[in-house]
Amino acid sequence: MKNDRFEVFTSFLIAVVTILGAITAWRASVASIHAGDADFDGLSASIRSQEERVLNSVRAYEHLRAYTAYFRYNELGYAIDASSSIHANREKSELLDIALDLQYLFFPARYLNRDGDYNLQRELEERWALSNEFKDLNPEPHFNRGDAFREKANILTLSLIIFAISFFFLALSQALNNFFRYIFAGIGGMALLGGLCAMLIFEFSV
Amino acid sequence: MTNREIDKEHRYEKFIGVLIALTTIFAAMTTFLENLSSNEADRFERLAQEYSIRATTESLNGAIRFSYDWQGAFQTWRELDLMITSAEEVGDTARADMFRATRDQLTSLSPLLQEPYFDRASEWTSPSQYEADLYIVESTILWEEFENKSSVANAWDQIANTFVLQLTLYAVVLSLYGLSTTISNYVRWIFVGLGALISIINLFWGAWMFFIPIDEIPETAIRSYAQGFGLAYQGRDAEAIQAFDQALSENPDYANALYNRGFSRLNINNLEGAAQDFEATLAAGRDDTTVLWNLGWTYYLMGRFEDAIAINQIALQKNPTLIGVRTNQALSLLSQGRISNADAEYQLALDEATRQVSESRTAGLEASSSLWYYLDAASADLESLVDIISGTKAPWTIGPDNAMIMAERNQIRQFAVEQIKEIKEYTLALEFFGRPPEGTENVTVSPFRFVQEVLDENGDFVEYVDSVNNSFGTKEIGVLFDFSGFKDGQHEVWKIYVNGVEDIPLRVESDWSVGENGSAIKFIEYAFSNNFVFARGEYVVELYLDSRLVQSGTFYVNDN
């Protein structure tokens, strides 16, 4: 009868180890899938960020080209002495009109410095900050998350080994009929607890 | 053990053997399904990545092409066009013809200079229509397909996940069956029963997985949506709504279509419809801050201030750095007459703006260009509220109906006027110096006099005449004022708002150099121009000294 109780007890422990092992394997598999998803998100963010960088450059340099034309017309316009002749006055007006039109239509006047230079860097940085406001352009957090999930999957798989050790000692204890079976059952039980703790810690750490 | 017991044990083991074999079949089937789902997930992820790359290429190619069309071809066309106008203004037809011939030859270089984009009558082109046709619609289709395939991949991933769980449960079942053979009493039946129960649950669960629909947006719905997006991009909101209707008739839970239809409805002032669409967008699972932001704003315009506050609060919980939402929140609180709450929200918004600018500059970067837009919008919205309360609505005034504002109007108006000044000063100080305004304005500036010069027949100055109301064609306005307490070297900025929007090319920044006291005149002008005159509308002129708004005034340009 006493023997029966011991067997039932160890069988329950083995069943528990099996279930915990299965749960751990499942969680490891899920973590692995999440790692893949995070990598996918990271790659998408990476593609989007490269797209934004190129688009911002295209637009900012488009503005810089327009500014260059503005600069030419503006400088030439102001260099002409309007009082020298009617022709000069007309030419000055023509050049300054074009410069003003360029300022209104082809580049944002906000980025003109006080000295008349165009602050391309400011435009690029403001555009980049704007892009970041509503778009997910930073792949690093996704990749970090992916790495964390991968690490979690690895460690959960490691804790499977602890459950396997527990399983081994519990099975061994069932096979024996002497005093050692209690020692092996104890080791199996300890390994079960250790594996459970490891699993719970890593399950909730990521 | 008697022979009978041995026989019974033998039968039991055979029974367990059958159960194990059966479970193995279930597990094998589940493995097959898991593999199938996992492969589908991989396939859709690959498709999504492919669409993402194609969308990026489409956008980039389109933007580069448009950059040439707009800045290369159209800009050159425009420059020549202005030269024609200038030549005609002075009666030099030969020169005008020369420029015209060159200009007209340019039209073959770009579709932007041809029909249907170029309108010969107005001599103006439609860049947004061209952009929409060139790449906006196509790249929208590709981005939507990317999102669509990603969400399908996620759904397959979830299913594969479930099958993995089921497989592990089958492993447990097998273990329970095996363990039951090591026990000889009734407890073995508990193991068998538990195993059988798990198997049955797994079977039903697996069968149910077949019936879970995987939502994939139909391609035709995506195309209709992209058409709508392209039309909305051109500002053709009524037509865009029809295209979105078409997309939604095929897929009523299409969140992006709901959101964009809401936005188009908001643009044509269908507030009820817009609110319904934004609410439906949230219900369809898209609950990002842009949706919440627009819903909060729509509620504000409808006069549903309590709802606006609740929605803005959710948006701010998601992202407390959104200055635009923060100032909208303050506006709703103010409209309810909760002035101290509004004051606190505005302060939070200005503190956040200061933090963003300071953080960016510390990192050697610039804050987002949207910061200046949202701060300008915050003061413009307050100006609208003042106009509504005062009953002096301008065409550009945006806000709730006057009847919806139940609180003490004078207090609201007084607070709003003070707040407008503070926001404007913060905006200027942050933009130029990266820090909030300091000190107080210890200067006096008389109210602005808007004047025009009267000259004699020799072109010599005679006097200034007041000119608040000016006729169309005016090229120059003088701002005459007395001042005291100024110091040379102080930072001086002039801003001009035309119909509520700053005309940045007219902005002037310099150092004060006219002494401590006296009178001065500042000309706002299109000097030397043969083409440019002040457009019709209301002109608000503001003078800032060391980031403090020291005086402002208004003049008008009318038809006659």
CA-to-CA separations, B287 to A163, B250, B282, B300, B374, in angstroms, rounded = 42, 22, 5, 19, 22
Q: Which residues pair with B544 in a beta bridge?
A: B493, B549
Rounded to the nearest 5°, which phi and psi values hold at B557?
Answer: -120, 120
Is A100's CB within 8 Å of B527's CB? no
Tens-place pLDDT, residues A51-96:
999 999 999 999 999 999 999 898 888 888 877 787 888 888 888 9
Handedness of CA B393, B394, B395, B398 (dihedral sign): negative
Alpha helices in B284-369 (DSSP H): 289-302, 305-318, 323-335, 339-362
**What mean pLDDT is predicted for residues B534-539?**
93
Confidence of residue B442 (pLDDT cuts 50, 70, 90): confident
Rounded to whole angstroms, how far apart are CA atoms A166 and A14?
A: 8
Sort out which chain B residues have CB atoms less than 8 A from A123's CB and list them.
Answer: 369
Rounded to whole angstroms, how far apart are CA atoms A89 and A80?
A: 8
Pairwise pLDDT comparison (B38 vs B347), residue with the higher score:
B347
pLDDT greater than 80 at residue A3:
no
Rounded to the nearest 5°, which phi and psi values hold at B558?
Answer: -120, 180
- The pLDDT of residue A5 is 82
Query: Is B360 touching A (CB cutoff 8 A)?
Result: yes
**What mean pLDDT is predicted for residues B146-154?**
93
- The pLDDT of residue B356 is 95
Please give the interface size between A and B, counted as residue pairs whose CB atoms are below 8 Å apart. 175
- The pLDDT of residue B542 is 97
Mean pLDDT across chain B: 93
Confidence of residue B357 (pLDDT cuts 50, 70, 90): very high
- The pLDDT of residue B527 is 64
Sort out which chain A residues have CB atoms less than 8 A from B504's CB and list them.
Answer: 108-110
Tens-place pLDDT, residues B188-244:
899 999 999 999 999 999 989 878 888 899 999 999 999 999 999 999 999 999 999
- 8 A C-beta contact, residue B553 and residue B447: yes
Which of B43, B54, B262, B246 minimizes the C-alpha distance to B156? B43
Residue with tokens 């003070």: B418
Indicate the DSSP class of residue B431: H
Pull the structure tokens for residue B117: 């984009």
Is B168's CB within 8 Å of A25's CB? yes
Rounded to whole angstroms, how far apart are CA atoms B429 and B220?
A: 51
- The pLDDT of residue A32 is 87
Sort out which chain B residues have CB atoms less than 8 A from A100's CB and list them.
Answer: 505, 526, 529, 532
Is B191's CB within 8 Å of A14's CB? no
Pull the structure tokens for residue B426: 């913060």
3-class DSSP state for residue B557?
strand
**What mean pLDDT is predicted for residues B35-53?**
92
**Share above pLDDT 70 across residues of chain B, in percent, rounded to a whole number:** 99
- 8 A C-beta contact, residue A49 and residue A138: yes
Residue with tokens 């926001």: B423
CA distance B164 to chain A (A): 6
- 8 A C-beta contact, residue B144 and residue B230: no
- The pLDDT of residue A88 is 83
- 8 A C-beta contact, residue A6 and residue B123: no
Q: Is B337 left (phi over 0), alpha (psi -120 to 50) or beta?
A: left
pLDDT greater than 70 at residue B324:
yes
Mutate to test the interface with A, among B167, B182, B510 (most CBs of A within 10 A): B182
- Crossing angle of helices B255-267 and B219-233, in 10° steps, is 30
Listed in sequence order, the residues at least 6 apart from B25 whose beta carbon sits closer than 8 Å to its beta carbon are none
Query: Is A54 touching B (CB cutoff 8 A)?
Result: yes
**What mean pLDDT is predicted for residues B310-321?**
96
**What mean pLDDT is predicted for residues B164-185?**
88
Query: Is A85 touching B (CB cutoff 8 A)?
Result: no
pLDDT greater than 70 at residue B293:
yes
Listed in sequence order, the residues at least 6 apart from B312 whose beta carbon sits closer than 8 Å to its beta carbon are B292, B293, B296, B325, B326, B328, B329, B332
- 8 A C-beta contact, residue B246 and residue B224: yes
Which of A50-59, B48-57, B180-189, B398-407 shows the lowest mean pLDDT across its residues? B180-189
CB-side neighbour CA atoms (13 Å) of B379: 22
Pull the structure tokens for residue B215: 């939502």
Query: B residues 276-305 near A, CB within 8 Å?
Result: 289-290
Confidence of residue A134 (pLDDT cuts 50, 70, 90): confident
Sort out which chain A residues have CB atoms less than 8 A from B126's CB and list them.
Answer: none
Pick from A18-22, B3-7, B262-266 the range whose average pLDDT is largest: B262-266
- The pLDDT of residue B492 is 95
Query: Is B468 touching A (CB cutoff 8 A)?
Result: no
Rounded to whole angstroms, how far apart are CA atoms B118 and B107?
A: 10
Sort out which chain A residues have CB atoms less than 8 A from B187's CB and list them.
Answer: 8, 11
Query: Is B154 touching A (CB cutoff 8 A)?
Result: yes
Q: What is the DSSP string of B445-502?
A: EPPPEEEEEEE-TTS-EEEEEE-SEEETT--EEEEEEEEES--TT-EEEEEEEETTEE
**Torsion angle in degrees (nearest 10) through CA of B97, B101, B102, B107:** 140
CA-to-CA separations, B85 to B73, B170, B528, in angstroms, rounded = 19, 84, 14
User: Which own/partner contact pairs does A75-84 have at CB distance under 8 Å and 24+ positions apart?
Assistant: A77/B528, A82/B528
**What mean pLDDT is predicted for residues A93-117?**
89
Burial of A81 (0-12, 13-18, 19+ CB in 10 A): exposed
Confidence of residue B297 (pLDDT cuts 50, 70, 90): very high
Which of B105, A69, A76 minimizes the C-alpha distance to B97? B105
**Torsion angle in degrees (nearest 10) through CA of A55, A61, A66, A71:** 160
- The pLDDT of residue A41 is 87
**What mean pLDDT is predicted for residues B514-524?**
93
Tens-place pLDDT, residues A148-173:
999 998 888 888 889 989 999 998 99
pLDDT greater than 90 at residue B75:
yes
Rounded to whole angstroms, how far apart are CA atoms A54 and B63?
A: 9
Confidence of residue A2 (pLDDT cuts 50, 70, 90): low
Rounded to whole angstroms, how far apart are CA atoms B143 and B413?
A: 46
- Crossing angle of helices B187-209 and B3-67, in 10° steps, is 30
Which of B297, B296, B257 minimizes the C-alpha distance to B277? B257
Pick from A30-34, B8-12, B498-502 the range whose average pLDDT is largest: B498-502
Handedness of CA B112, B113, B119, B122 (dihedral sign): positive
Q: Which amino acid is at A135?
A: K
Confidence of residue B1 (pLDDT cuts 50, 70, 90): low
pLDDT greater than 60 at residue A1:
no
- The pLDDT of residue A37 is 85
